[in-house]
């Protein structure tokens, strides 16, 4: 495989919901995804998958402050309706 290996992680902020993980390789201006997982549960599984892929960079989407007691942001609710 050619290209620079990269990872993207969309962390679930509640321990029950799964985390999303995308692994791909940047080749010039194109980033094809090699692996796309939406059911990763637990920190150990996330770490193992990233370690096995050995990305050069990782982008992480994780909330720093969670101020919505319902567990869903308004923007997510709107996307769900669409």
- pLDDT by residue (tens digit) across 18-53? 899 999 999 999 999 999 998 888 889 989 999 999
Structural domain boundaries, residue 12: 4-81
CA-to-CA separations, 24 to 11, 16, 49, 67, in angstroms, rounded: 17, 26, 13, 32
CATH code of 18's domain: 3.30.420.200
What's the total number of domains in the chain?
A: 1
For residue 4, pLDDT over 90 is answered with yes
The length of the chain, given as a count of residues: 82
Of 4-8, 15-19, 27-31, which has the strongest mean pLDDT? 4-8
């Amino acid at each position: 495989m050619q290209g620079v290996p990269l990872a993207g992680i969309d962390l679930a902020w509640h321990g029950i919901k799964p985390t999303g993980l995308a692994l791909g390789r940047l080749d010039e201006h194109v980033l094809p995804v090699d692996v796309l997982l939406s059911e990763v549960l637990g920190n150990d599984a996330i770490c193992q998958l990233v370690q096995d892929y050995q990305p050069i960079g990782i982008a992480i989407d994780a909330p720093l402050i969670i101020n919505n007691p319902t567990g869903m942001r308004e923007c997510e609710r709107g996307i769900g309706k669409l």
